[in-house]
Amino acid sequence: MQRLSQRLWTFAGMLLSALVLLAGLGTRDAVAATCFAVDDDTARIVVFDRDPPVNIRFNAQITDGIGGPAIVAERIESAYFDSVQNRYYVIVQDTPNRFGYIDAFTGGFITVAASMGTTVTPTARTVGSGNGATGIRGLTRNPATGRWYINDQNGYIYEINPTTGQYVPGSFGGADYIRVSGPTGNFYTNVEDLAFDSAGLLYVIRNDVGAEQLLRDVSLITGRAAATANPNIDEAEGLALTDGTMRLIVGASGGANARNFYALDTSTGATSLIFNLPSPSGTPADYEAQGCNDSFPRADLAIRKTVTPAAVAPGGTLTYVIQLENQGIDPAYRVQVTDALEAGMSFSSYTIDPSCTVCSFDSGTGVWTVDKIDIGQRRTLTLVVSTAGVPPNTFVTNRAQVTQSCDSATGGCVALADFDSTPNNKAGSWSATEDDEATAGALVTIQPSVGKYFSPTTGLAGVTTTLVLTLTNANSSTAATLTATFTDTYPASMVNYSTPAAATSCAGGAGAAAAAGGNTVTLATGAVIPAGGTCSISVVVTAPSVGVYTNTVSVGALTVTVAGVNLTNAVGSTAQYQVTPANVNVIKDFTPDGIRPNGSSTLQITFSNPTGVTATFTNGFTDDYPSGLVNYATPAAATSCAGSGGPTASGGGTSVSLPNTRAIPPAGSCTITVVVTSATLGTYSNTIPTGSVTTSVGSNLGTATGVLLVAAPSVSKQFSPTSVNTGTTSTLVVTFTNPLNTTATFTQTFTDLYPISSTSAGTLVNHTTPAATDNCPGGNVTATSGMRTFTMPVGTQIPPLSTCFVSVVVAATPIASMTGTFVNTVPAGSLTTTLGSNSIGTTATLTVSTLANLRVTKVASVSSGTPGTTISYTVTIANLGPSAITGGSFTDTLAGLTLVAPITVTWVGGGAGATNSATAIVTTTTSIGATIALLSRPAGDRYVQILIRALPSATSGYVTNTAAAVVPVGAQDSNLLNNTASVAVYISPTANLQVAKDNGVTTVFAGSQTVYTLTFVNSGPSDASGTVIRDASVTGLNCTALTCNTAGGASCGSITVPALQGGHPIPTFPASSTVTVLLTCGVTATGF
């Protein structure tokens, strides 16, 4: 059986179990994940639910001298849960600090390293000492790279190897450590913890409230934070990535916030309360760090089983004790253990201790049911079994196995992941090979017998186990004396430990013997087995490699005399010990971790062996590189791993390998190194998959990833501003970037040649006061006024993982009038440094535009008019500058007017040599458009006036028309509010109507006829269409006929005598037109 502290799960097993679990969960509620925390004041481990409502499942004081009531304050400040190895790692603040992990099942502390070492570069520093400023306050793992890091209170960060517990030299660009600083380089104290997010960005939390309490995106090269935030939570003690969310833990001194757990927004520093974790004991807890199993529930159910006596006479009773315990980190529900009896055996009685809410045993089926068993809990079932039906000289085996384990207390039973066992996977005749099953055998006979077992039954390679052999004398009246030496020979490769401690409880003889490194244990002649009793032999043994070791005592191996009768064991016996796979830890790294194309980096792969025996590479080892990464021309492959046969890495090859004749030393590590390169820019992630490092003691249970950046310095540029007006300047900023962690030094002068405009004949030059400056170490920018270049000299440096820049004030020339688009290009290869050249070019565009101010005014010759009367409009367009324009446009839409040609254009004012003109004048009857060829603004206030004449086409109301001027494309107008002008003229019609009537005589006679001539004249100026004419009837005249004639465009319409007499409208009656009506009438009256 294997403790939590020893259990090492394979990733493949984890993945398979996860898939099984997820498939079974369906839509059921998620099962609460498990978290761990340490109270640093009492050194107590606390196990609780990750998600609210909070529930403390288990707590235990850490043993081995770590915890207790009289410990020093702040005993444990740093902790991290490694879900791959299922270990809760902590650092104990002794002098020096100790690195190790806690067995959550027992509360025991297992020391990995009594000291984490002393740095060399740049200075000697003890890695963790005491519980003050140099004590270790934070422990974490980068999920992106698999590397582990710690920090002390003064903000010093070290990388640590969790297998050896030692700091890793040269991890920070050749330095052994870095110190955390803010964005401006200021150092801090009261640094409490550090944690990575899922993307591998590092965050650091400080104890005190302030703008820089949370340091964000801390560089692992410089230690400098990219930004800060203020969570505003006093006594912040712990930081941990939990289920994708960063958690902030508050210590006991946090006042009202004491022992609060918060979700932390790493971008803003905002917090939200998750829960308050209560104190598990009478002493107020001071939680410093937490670690959680975020993957999926996992228990580790294990069974131990013993039987007494080892032999019994036919019909006697045997007592079996079955112990069920949960060595995992999550509870198991509705557990069933099935105990199978052999033929002839029957259950007599049973007891369950301790009692539980729903615990039962069915003697008919042999099924023992337990409602729940939590981490660290143990249940015991004692069975009394009768052998009344067992034939004499029969070895009976009682077999127990976990046949059900559920992930929840209710609902459908979904099998709970158990990484070293599979419930209910055995049937028929079998022997125990997993820790969730156990067998116990006894002999039903009057002959002497030998029983045996290993304790524990499982362990890692090189770990010890105790082999116990029980000798039984079934004769109840006479002792049995050995007549020959009893020898137990072990299976191949199993040997006595260096201190085998062979012992026996058998009286007489010379006792038990076992030579260190030997493969036997013996009991000398003359040893006595008491009457009706037993005695035992014990010896400490070990096995060097993974596998099942079956130890067998054959029939006749034990010879005794009982009352003068020679007897031997009639039945043989076996016991099995299983060496389970250890986690062979693998770390890989590139030094340097960034190179230029075709540069070289040393790939180092470190293998760590956690066992006490040599770990031989059973299948050799090969690391295949990602595409594009190859061995250097002289790869210089080397290894420190023991054995023969050198590493293989050919120049230009895509892998490095070790033969199966190499090995990792006991409780130690070894490396393989090879020089690699790449010709192509990119990020190369080199990963060793889970299970690919196979050794005699186990394989790697997690992946190992190293990342190599192949990059070169680059150039970028910009103008500020990107668009300017004629006569103004812009600042050209060229930025040099070095993505690598070594300085890039210019090997050739860098020259930036400014462009000629792509849209005009202008050029870009340094301003008369270029104000050239740079912040590059060793740089000295040269930018001469009026020249088209600036230069940076050989020896200019770009700092590691940083940038530097050059700025120069530039202008288009000639500066007073030039416009255009200037595209400034730095071609690929223009920047040459010790780390290579820029592989791609860069451009920046500056647009120089004309700035003008067109002002339009418009006046009319009258404020009111009449239809038919010409109105004159004068439009004045002035360019108030400061720049001349070419190609501007003018429009005037004559709403309600009809144009009367011609248009007159007049230029007013202007200095000598001005060539202003208006071209491409386009007119219609209702609009005018023109292109202004040039409108300058020299001394003399030059402007253009356009005279427009038009007739109102509307008969009444206001006629409003608008003139507008627009600068040409590429120019800008500084005031768009004065670009248009409108004028309104009120139109009211006016006509001069005249009427004349005459019959040509002065006297008419009764009974005669006379003809009247009626003349209607519109003398204008307006149209009078619709005018009603009328000649009323009178007594004495009888008008019977008429004719109508017109002139000047008038029309008569359908006129009749009655219509005329009643009032007739003239349909068309324009100005200067005449309507003449000849009316014939008979005279009926006499007198006047």
Which tens digit of pLDDT belongs to each residue from 351-370?
888 767 678 899 899 999 99
**197: pLDDT confidence band, cut at 50, 70 and 90?**
very high
Residue type present at position 82: D
| Ramachandran angles phi, psi of 1087, nearest 5° | 85, -165
Architecture of domain 853-987: Sandwich (2.60)
Token pair listed for 871 = 């109105």
Read off φ and ψ for residue 256, nearest 5 degrees.
-65, -20
Q: What confidence category does residue 254 fall into, taking pLDDT thresholds of 50, 70 and 90?
A: confident
DSSP state of 25: H
316: pLDDT strictly greater than 80 = yes
Of 540, 499, 538, 535, which Cα lies nearest the Cα of 516? 499
Cis bond before residue 770 (omega within 30° of 0): no
Residue 698 has pLDDT above 60, yes or no: yes
Strands 594-595 and 704-710: parallel
Residue 16, pLDDT > 90, answer no
Cα–Cα distance, 677 to 664 (Å, whole number): 27
pLDDT at position 881: 74
CA angle 226, 146, 1 (to 5 degrees): 145
Distance CA 234, CA 661 (A): 57
Q: Give, as one character, the DSSP assignment of residue 815.
A: T
- Cα dihedral value 146, 151, 157, 158, nearest 10: -60
Superfamily (CATH H level) for 582-706: Mu homology domain, subdomain B (2.60.40.1170)
What does R_g of the chain's alpha carbons equal in angstroms? 52
Beta bridge partner(s), residue 111: 100
Contacts of 924 (CB under 8 A, 6+ apart): 899
Burial of 821 (0-12, 13-18, 19+ CB in 10 A): middle
Give the number of other CB atoms < 10 A from CB of residue 919.
11
pLDDT tier at 431, thresholds 50, 70, 90: low
pLDDT for residue 915 is more than 70: no
pLDDT of residue 541: 98
Question: What is the structure's pLDDT at 989?
Answer: 81
Q: How far apart are CA 423 and CA 513, in angstroms?
A: 40
* Rounded Cα gap, residues 750 and 769, in angstroms: 21
Q: Six-digit token pair at 199?
A: 């993307």
Question: Can you give the residue ranges of every domain in the chain?
Answer: 1-31+299-445, 32-292, 446-580, 582-706, 714-847, 853-987, 991-1083
pLDDT at site 329 = 73
Residue 706 scores a pLDDT above 80 = yes
| CA pseudo-torsion sign 109, 110, 112, 118 | positive
Quote the pLDDT of residue 519: 97
Q: So what's the pLDDT on residue 725?
A: 83
Q: Which residues contact 1032 (CB under 8 A, 6 or more apart)?
A: 1061
Among the ranges 12-16, 648-652, 980-984, 1005-1009, which has the highest mean pLDDT value?
Answer: 648-652
Q: What is the mean pLDDT of residues 540-553?
A: 94
Distance, in Å, from the CA atom of 804 to the CA atom of 686, rounded to the nearest integer, reads 31
Tokens of 396: 């009976």
Q: Quick check: 813 pLDDT over 90?
A: no
* pLDDT tens-digit readout, 177-188: 999 999 988 999
Distance CA 130, CA 132 (A): 6
- How deeply is 14 buried, as exposed, middle or buried, from its count of CB atoms within 10 A (0-12, 13-18, 19+)? buried
Query: How many Cα atoms within 13 Å fall on the side-chain side of residue 414?
Result: 23
Run of H or E residues at 1021: strand 1009-1021
**Higher pLDDT among residues 415 and 598, named by residue:** 598
- What is the overall mean pLDDT for the chain? 86
Pick the CATH number of 1-31+299-445 from 1.10.10.10, 2.60.40.1510, 1.20.930.40, 1.20.1050.10: 2.60.40.1510
Longest dimension (CA), the chain: 197
The torsion defined by the Cα of 121, 122, 128 and 133, in degrees rounded to 10, comes to: 180
Phi then psi dihedrals of residue 1060, to 5 deg: -65, -45
∠ CA 494-496-497, nearest 5°, is 110
HEC states along 691-738? CCCEECCEECCCCEEEEEEECCCEEEEEEECCEEECCCCEEEEEEEEE
What is the Cα–Cα distance from 121 to 1009, expressed in whole angstroms?
142
Q: 20 falls in which pLDDT band (50, 70, 90)? A: very low
Which one of 35-39, 567-571, 581-585, 625-629 scores highest in mean pLDDT?
A: 625-629
The residue assigned the tokens 């060097």 is 544
Q: Read off the pLDDT of each residue in 802-821 and give the average, rounded to a whole number.
A: 86
685 pLDDT tier (thresholds 50, 70, 90) = very high
Is the CATH number of domain 32-292 2.120.10? yes
Q: Is a pLDDT exceeding 70 seen at residue 22?
A: no
pLDDT over 50 (residue 598): yes
- What pLDDT was estimated at residue 909? 60
Instruction: With CA atoms as reference, report the closest residue to 470 among 455, 491, 492.
Output: 455
Confidence at 38, pLDDT banded by 50, 70, 90: confident
Domains 32-292 and 714-847 share a fold: no
Parallel, antiparallel or unpaired: strands 573-579 and 458-459: parallel
Cβ proximity of 875 and 858 under 8 Å: yes
Specify whether the CB–CB gap between 948 and 899 falls below 8 A: yes
pLDDT of residue 34: 84
What is the band of 1024 on the pLDDT scale with cuts at 50, 70, 90?
confident
pLDDT in tens, 834-858: 999 999 999 999 988 877 888 899 8
Question: Using 50, 70 and 90 to split pLDDT, how confident is the model at 974?
Answer: confident
Please choose, from the candidates 949, 986, 978, the residue with its C-alpha nearest in 3D space to the C-alpha of residue 857.
978
pLDDT exceeds cutoff 50 at 8: no
**C-alpha to C-alpha distance for 145 and 708, rounded to whole angstroms:** 12
- Tell me what pLDDT residue 146 has: 85
Phi, psi (degrees; rounded to nearest 5) at 72: -70, 155
Can you tell me the distance from the alpha carbon of 471 to that of 310, in angstroms, rounded to the nearest whole number? 8
Torsion of CA 487, 492, 497, 501, to 10 degrees: -20
CATH topology of domain 714-847: Immunoglobulin-like (2.60.40)
Structure tokens at 82: 């490694």
Specify whether the CB–CB gap between 62 and 92 falls below 8 A: no
Chain-centroid distance, C-alpha 543 = 45
Separation CA 495–CA 995 (nearest Å): 149
Q: How many residues does the chain have?
A: 1088
User: Tell me, what's the pLDDT at 25?
Assistant: 31
- CA dist 446 and 474 (Å) reads 5
**pLDDT (tens digit per residue) in 387-407:** 999 988 788 888 899 999 988
- Report the C-alpha gap between 934 and 967 in whole angstroms: 11
Residue with tokens 């007599």: 348
Please tell me the predicted confidence (pLDDT) of residue 120: 92
Quick check: 992 and 959 in contact, CB under 8 A? no
**213 and 203 Cβ atoms separated by less than 8 Å:** no
1043 pairs with which residues across the strands? 1078
Q: Which fold has domain 446-580?
A: Immunoglobulin-like (2.60.40)
Residues 233-245, mean pLDDT to the nearest whole number: 91
What are the pLDDT digits (tens) for 872-894? 888 888 888 777 777 788 888 88
What token pair was written down for 10? 């394979």
- In angstroms, how far is CA 87 from the centroid of its own chain? 26
Q: What is the pLDDT of residue 12?
A: 29
The pLDDT of residue 359: 84
Question: How does pLDDT run across 204-232, given as a tens digit for each residue?
Answer: 999 989 999 999 999 988 899 999 999 99
- Cα 166 to its chain centre, rounded Å, is 30
Q: What is the mean pLDDT of residues 693-719?
A: 92
- Mean pLDDT for 153-172 is 92
Q: Phi/psi of residue 387, each to 5°?
A: -110, 25
Angle at alpha carbon of residue 105, lines to 104 and 106, rounded to 5°: 95
Look at residue 496 in the predicted model and tell me its pLDDT.
97
Which carries the bigger pLDDT value, residue 72 or residue 677? 677
User: Which residues contact residue 3 at a Cβ distance below 8 angstroms, ignoring those fewer than 6 apart?
Assistant: 103, 105, 106, 327
As a whole-number percent, the residues of the chain with pLDDT over 70 amount to 91
Q: Which residue would you say has higher pLDDT here, 47 or 434? A: 47
Residue with more model confidence, 252 or 1013 = 1013
Distances (CA, A) of 1048 to 120, 186, 1030, 1045, 1060: 118, 100, 21, 11, 21
DSSP, collapsed to helix, strand or coil, labels residue 362 as: strand
pTM exceeds 0.75 for this model: no
Question: CB–CB of 309/300 below 8 Å?
Answer: no
What burial letters (b/e) apply to 374-407, b meaning 16+ CB within 10 Å? bbbbebebebebbbeebeeebbbbbbbbbbbbbb
pLDDT at 890: 84
Considering 250-259, 397-406, 490-499, 916-925, the range whose residues carry the highest mean pLDDT is 490-499
Residue 511 has pLDDT above 80, yes or no: yes
